[in-house]
Structure 1
Amino acid sequence: MLMKFLTYNIHKGIGGVDRRYRLDRIVEVIRHYDPDVAFLQEVDDGVPRSRGDCQVAMLAEALGYHWSAFQANVRLRHGHYGNAILSRYPMSNACDVELTVRPKKRRQALVGHVRLSDGHATRTVVVASLHLGLADFERRMQLRRLLKHDTLASHHAHTPVVVGGDFNDVWGRLGVKLMHPGGFNSATGHVRTFPARLPLRALDAIYYRGDVTLHRAFAGHTDLCRVASDHLPLVAHLEVQVG
């Protein structure tokens, strides 16, 4: 089954150029690429800067996603922000994987199960949305912790697993040093996504393993993508073996 995955640091819906809060621009970007599963980072819930909006609920409703999950990573004086997953297929067992490296900012991965069916057979895809830390040692520790966690490590080698997010991979080392030895392939390579207006760094990525084949992947390229957030979205078309 051909599936479309998107990962996108939405920057709380605040434009990377004009610094205006416009969640409708994020809606239009996601709608344009129409992913089956969207991994989102820096999603606000009850924060004054975003009018107190519950952004995951608003995005799911506006875009017609029947399944969603949100993870409150960072608590603010009013509200919090974190990671989210939107899915067009049934999603269950959403859970938090603690990745915080003290005394750094709190970080977690949001992991869930997406259930596919082709009418004859069903298959579970393990999905994860994450936002890693700013320090190189921190990112390496966080990824090692995630890869060893039961939510990923307990599955058979053929189980489809897709991980997307803002890896903050400034030096482009995480894939070679950690993800590839962990059995993952890169869907997106070193596609530059930050800053959105003139991308210089490949901070965001999608990785996959198991019974999954890559068809193509790219960064969002519309004019709206360059102003809606400070990151560009990444899109990957992946074939997941169901039957």
Structure 2
Amino acid sequence: MLLKFLTYNIHKGIGGVDRKYRLERIMDVLRHHDPDIALLQEVDDGVPRSRGDCQIDLLREELGYADSAFQANVRLRRGHYGNAILSRFPLSHQTDIDLTIGPKKRRRALVAHARLADQNHTRTLVVANLHLGLADFERRMQLRRLLKHDAIAHHHSTTPMLVGGDFNDVWGRMGKRIMHPGGFHSATGKVRTFPARLPLRALDAIYYRGDVELDHAFAGHTQLCREASDHRPLVAHLHVQVS
């Protein structure tokens, strides 16, 4: 089964250049790329800067996704923001993994099972969405904690698994140091996604493991992708073995 995955730091729907809140631009980017599963970071819920919108509900309803999951990571005076998953497949077994390295900013990973169906066969795809810290030592500790957690570590090596998000991987070290030794392959390499207007850094990434093969991957390059957020969306087309 060929599936389209996308990871995207949507910056609360606030444009990276004009600093205006326009969630409809994020909707248009997602509509253009039409991913089967989207991993989103910096998603607002009940925050004044984004009109109090529950953004994941608006995105799911407007774009017609079958299911979604949301994880409130950072609590503000009013509302909070965090990670979210949009899926064209049913989601279950949502797990919140604490990745906070005190006294740094609160960080968590959102893990869920997507139930894939192909004719008479079904299979579970494990999906993890994360937004790592700004310090190199922090990111290394966070990834090691993630890979040791039961929600990741206790699956068979052939179980299809995807880990994506904003790795804040300024120096491009996380794959070689942590993910590759953990059995994961990079779907996106060093595709640059930040800043959106003229990308210089490959901060975002998608890694896969198990019965999954890479077809191709790229960063969004339309004019809207340059304006809608301070990151560009990162897209990977992957073959996931179901039968």
Same-fold call, TM cutoff 0.5: yes
CA distance in 1, matches of 2:158, 2:5: 19
Note the C-alpha offset of 1:173: 0.2
Show the counterpart of 1:149: 149
Residue 122 of structure 2 corresponds to residue 113 of structure 1: no
Residue 19 of structure 2 corresponds to residue 19 of structure 1: yes
Residue 16 of structure 2 corresponds to residue 31 of structure 1: no
Residue 217 of structure 2 corresponds to residue 220 of structure 1: no
CA deviation map 1:19-47 (0-9, x unaligned): 00000000000010000000000000000
Residue 126 of structure 2 corresponds to residue 122 of structure 1: no
Show the counterpart of 1:131: 131
CA distance in 2, matches of 1:93, 1:57: 19
Give the 3-state SS of the residue equivalent to 2:126 in structure 1.
Answer: strand
Residue 125 of structure 2 corresponds to residue 104 of structure 1: no
CA deviation map 1:77-114 (0-9, x unaligned): 00000000000011111110010000000000000000
How many residues are treated as equivalent by the alignment?
Answer: 243
Show the counterpart of 1:179: 179
Show the counterpart of 2:46: 46
State the one-letter code of the partner of 1:71: Q
Residue 146 of structure 2 corresponds to residue 160 of structure 1: no
- Equivalent residues in 2 for 1:185-204 (5 A)? 185-204=185-204
Give the 3-state SS of the residue equivalent to 1:68 in structure 2.
Answer: strand
Note the C-alpha offset of 1:124: 0.3
Tell me the percent identity. 77
CA distance in 2, matches of 1:203, 1:62: 28
Show the counterpart of 1:94: 94
Give the 3-state SS of the residue equivalent to 2:223 in structure 1.
Answer: coil
State the one-letter code of the partner of 2:217: A
State the one-letter code of the partner of 2:23: L
**Runs of 4+ with >3 A deviation:** none
Note the C-alpha offset of 1:121: 1.2
CA deviation map 1:181-233 (0-9, x unaligned): 00000000000000000000000000000000000000001000000000000
CA distance in 2, matches of 1:30, 1:164: 16
Note the C-alpha offset of 1:70: 0.3
Note the C-alpha offset of 1:237: 0.3
Report the TM-score, using the length of structure 1 for normalisation. Answer: 1.00
Show the counterpart of 1:9: 9
Report the TM-score, using the length of structure 2 for normalisation. Answer: 1.00
Give the 3-state SS of the residue equivalent to 2:4 in structure 1.
Answer: strand
Give the 3-state SS of the residue equivalent to 1:224 in structure 2.
Answer: helix
Note the C-alpha offset of 1:66: 1.6
Note the C-alpha offset of 1:131: 0.2
Note the C-alpha offset of 1:14: 0.1
CA distance in 1, matches of 2:183, 2:75: 34
CA distance in 2, matches of 1:161, 1:19: 35
CA distance in 2, matches of 1:153, 1:202: 26
State the one-letter code of the partner of 1:221: H
What stretches of structure 1 of length at least 5 have no aligned partner? none
What stretches of structure 2 of length at least 5 have no aligned partner? none
Show the counterpart of 1:75: 75
State the one-letter code of the partner of 1:236: A
CA deviation map 1:47-99 (0-9, x unaligned): 00000000000000110012000000000000000000000011111110010
CA deviation map 1:150-170 (0-9, x unaligned): 000000000000011000000
RMSD: 0.4
